[in-house]
């Protein structure tokens, strides 16, 4: 008879440097992004739902007007910095789980908060045991949140984050992200300067 056996942790090879746990960032490097879906005044059967991040559809202001080319990109940070992002989902429908995805940067899942299934009013927080999980997509539960930690290493430039449900992304649930060089002036380097996603 063969028994399944786990070796002691020291028997395993060391994790590669790029998969080591990320240290918590300073409080100044924590931001919240709010994912939401709403129906129009005619109700869900008459109006296509709107999908937003921070009350804005991609490329539009909160008022629904095109953003100015002189506006800042949605999320901007300096290369070689670590950030915690708290991703919240304020959508009302139980079917509106939003799978968050960001290009270029994998992240660690620090905790997931979700409504307790029996009451839907009490929140429960789950923290993965052991080292945080590395991912590039995570579901944001309806009425809950996910705290992720990511290090913006190596790459500088502009890319996107979005809901990984194509219909949600195409209806506005996407943002531009920019990682700027360490010596760049954020007041200038975080400007759109005509950059847009097609």
Domain holding 49: CATH number? 2.60.40.420
Would you say residue 168 lies in a domain?
Answer: yes
Closest CA to 74 of 88, 57, 91: 57
Dihedral angle computed from the Cα positions of residues 27, 87, 132 and 22, in that order, rounded to the nearest 10 degrees: -40
- Domain residues for the domain of 142 are 27-70+83-155+163-175
Q: Which of 19-23, 84-88, 154-158 has the lowest mean pLDDT?
A: 19-23
Spatial contact of 176 and 158, defined as CB atoms under 8 Å apart: yes
Q: Which tokens hold the place of 8? A: 């002691």
Would you say residue 108 lies in a domain?
Answer: yes
User: Is 198 exposed, middle or buried (CB count within 10 Å of its CB: 0-12, 13-18, 19+)?
Assistant: exposed
Render pLDDT for 139-197 as a digit per residue (tens, 0 to 9).
999 999 999 999 999 899 999 999 999 999 999 999 999 999 999 999 999 999 877 65
Q: Which tokens hold the place of 144? A: 């809950």
Would you say residue 121 lies in a domain?
Answer: yes
State mean pLDDT over 67-73.
91
Residue located via tokens 């937003």: 52
Closest CA to 35 of 82, 101, 125: 101
Query: Quick one: what percent of the chain has pLDDT higher than 70?
Result: 88
Would you say residue 92 lies in a domain?
Answer: yes
Instruction: State residue 101's pLDDT score.
Output: 98
Instruction: State residue 9's pLDDT score.
Output: 67
Q: How far is CA 174 from CA 55, 152, 196, in A?
A: 11, 19, 12
State mean pLDDT over 61-66.
90
Instruction: State residue 197's pLDDT score.
Output: 59
Would you say residue 130 lies in a domain?
Answer: yes
The number of domains in the chain is 1
State mean pLDDT over 26-47.
80
Would you say residue 188 lies in a domain?
Answer: no
Instruction: State residue 15's pLDDT score.
Output: 76
């Amino acid at each position: 008879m063969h028994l399944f056996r786990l070796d002691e942790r020291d028997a395993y090879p060391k994790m590669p440097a790029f998969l080591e746990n990320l240290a918590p960032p300073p409080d100044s490097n924590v931001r919240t992004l709010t994912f939401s879906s709403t129906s129009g005044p005619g109700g869900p059967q008459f109006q296509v739902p709107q999908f937003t991040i921070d009350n804005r559809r991609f490329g539009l202001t909160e008022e629904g007007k095109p953003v100015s080319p002189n506006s800042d990109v949605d999320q901007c940070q300096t290369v070689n910095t670590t950030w915690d992002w708290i991703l919240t989902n304020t959508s009302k429908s139980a079917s509106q789980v939003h799978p968050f995805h960001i290009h270029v940067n994998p992240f660690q899942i620090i905790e997931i908060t979700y409504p307790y299934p029996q009451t839907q009013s009490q929140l429960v927080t789950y923290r993965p045991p052991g080292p945080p999980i590395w991912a590039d997509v995570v579901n944001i539960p309806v009425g809950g949140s996910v705290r992720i930690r990511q290090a913006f290493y190596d790459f500088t430039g502009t890319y996107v984050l979005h809901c990984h449900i194509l219909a949600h992304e195409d209806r506005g649930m996407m943002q531009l992200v920019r990682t700027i060089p360490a010596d760049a002036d954020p007041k200038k380097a975080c400007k759109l300067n005509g950059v847009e996603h097609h």
